[in-house]
Amino acid sequence: MKAARSDFFVSSPSAWVKRWSDRIPRGGRVLDVASGGGRHARWLAAAGYTVEAVDRNIDPLADLADVRAITVRRLDLETEAWPYSSASFTGIVVTNYLHRPLFPLLLEALMAGGVLIYETFAVGSEHYGKPRNPDYLLRPGELRAMVVGRLEILGFEEGVVGDPRPAVVQRLCARLPENTASNGDASSTPAQLLSGKTDKITIA
Ligand SMILES: C[S@@+](CC[C@H](N)C(=O)[O-])C[C@H]1O[C@@H](n2cnc3c(N)ncnc32)[C@H](O)[C@@H]1O
């Protein structure tokens, strides 16, 4: 049985993901990394994308078993082999999850023209609540540094937010240029493609 559309919205998608998700090539295949309850997998599937939701705990995704547009994969992203080949996805979404060794794998998994949307906690957020482990907190500018020379930065912000709770976050939307001959050669991307803009965001 296919889930009713209202069943898709068990929790609101992030405003950052909502803001940028239409930059993912229409109808493409999107990877929702550490998808949790699948709020972004659900949002993206409702927007017409095919989604692979991957998490080590897929119990909260049980209701998606019959949703054709979403494939759920149980995987420990930190101990098991990365199962995706290069240029597999037109979009990759990561929110509230950080495992730095995945950075190069995420970039490789993007198709030319594909879009990476990433948002998670950053240093300073430990003063507001969890996570407090520095392994889970981005260093200043770290998301931007991850993609510089590889992807075209469409949006980048870092700072304090008040919604859904006070935290320090960093967020990025970046695209692998269409004319990238082979994803994996950092030196092949022209520097002038880097159009990143940094905004400070603060609690209203
Ligand atoms: C804070 S939740 C974020 C969920 C979702 N991205 C969101 O923003 O709603 C972190 C998620 O990372 C997953 N996770 C943590 N460590 C993981 C690992 N080693 N492999 C796969 N998933 C992991 C957890 O199961 C959890 O669903």
Lowest mean pLDDT among 24-33, 63-72, 116-125, 180-189: 180-189
Distance 36 CA to ligand 1 centre (A): 5
Average pLDDT over residues 41-48: 97
Locate the ligand 1 atom nearest the alpha carbon of residue 57 and give its number: 25
Q: What is the CATH number of the domain that holds 113?
A: 3.40.50.150
Give the pocket of ligand 1 (CB within 6 Å): 34-37, 39, 55-57, 76-78, 95-97
Between residues 190 and 124, which one has the greater pLDDT?
A: 124
Assess if residue 3 is contained within a domain: no
Task: Read off the pLDDT of residues 108-146 as tens digits, 9 standing for 90 and up.
Answer: 999 999 999 999 999 999 999 999 999 999 999 999 999
Distance 45 CA to ligand 1 centre (A): 19
Lowest mean pLDDT among 35-39, 60-64, 110-114, 180-184: 180-184
Shortest-distance Cα residue to atom 27 of ligand 1: 36
- Domain range for 106 is 14-194
Shortest-distance Cα residue to atom 8 of ligand 1: 95
**Tally of domains in the chain:** 1
Half-sphere exposure of 61 (CA within 13 A, CB side): 24
Assess if residue 1 is contained within a domain: no
Query: pTM for this structure?
Result: 0.87
Assess if residue 6 is contained within a domain: no
Sheet hosting strand 89-95, strand order edge to edge: 70-74, 50-55, 29-33, 89-95, 110-121, 167-175, 152-161, 198-201
Assess if residue 182 is contained within a domain: yes
Distance 81 CA to ligand 1 centre (A): 17
Assess if residue 94 is contained within a domain: yes
φ/ψ of residue 14, rounded to 5: -65, 145
Residue corresponding to tokens 């907190």 = 137
